[in-house]
Amino acid sequence: LPEVEAECQAGDEIAVVESVKAASDIYAPVAGTVVEVNVKLEDSPELVNEAPYADGWFFKIKVSDHAVVEGLLTAVQYQALCEAEEH
């Protein structure tokens, strides 16, 4: 997980998720400053899969430019996009 107060740009590699089979980079969705990390994941990494919208979040970023947020997909929009690409 990133350090609190770390600066990031959209697209920066900011964290890594490791599993038995692979390691996957996590990219910052927006530019800003990391204001909080989810330390619960250190002892309970399964929260990412079990409760991604509750206790399974990775980090919080204070956004540099709030206009950028309007261009991000909601969870529902992203799910619809994934389903459309499967067909």
> Model confidence over 17-69: pLDDT tens digits?
988 899 999 999 999 999 999 999 999 999 999 999 999 999 999 999 999 99
User: What is residue 42's DSSP assignment?
Assistant: H
DSSP H/E element including 76: helix 75-86
> Model confidence over 73-86: pLDDT tens digits?
999 999 999 999 98
Q: Which domain holds residue 23?
A: 7-86
Total-model pTM: 0.83
Residue 11's DSSP bridge partners are: none
CATH of the domain at 68: 2.40.50.100
Q: Is residue 80 part of a domain?
A: yes
The confidence score (pLDDT) of residue 82 equals: 94
Inter-residue contact 29 to 72 (CB < 8 Å): yes
Instruction: Say what the alpha-carbon torsion angle 79, 26, 57, 21 is, to the nearest 10 degrees.
Output: 90
Q: Is residue 2 part of a domain?
A: no
User: What is residue 73's DSSP assignment?
Assistant: P
The confidence score (pLDDT) of residue 86 equals: 83
Q: Is residue 47 part of a domain?
A: yes
Domain count, the chain: 1
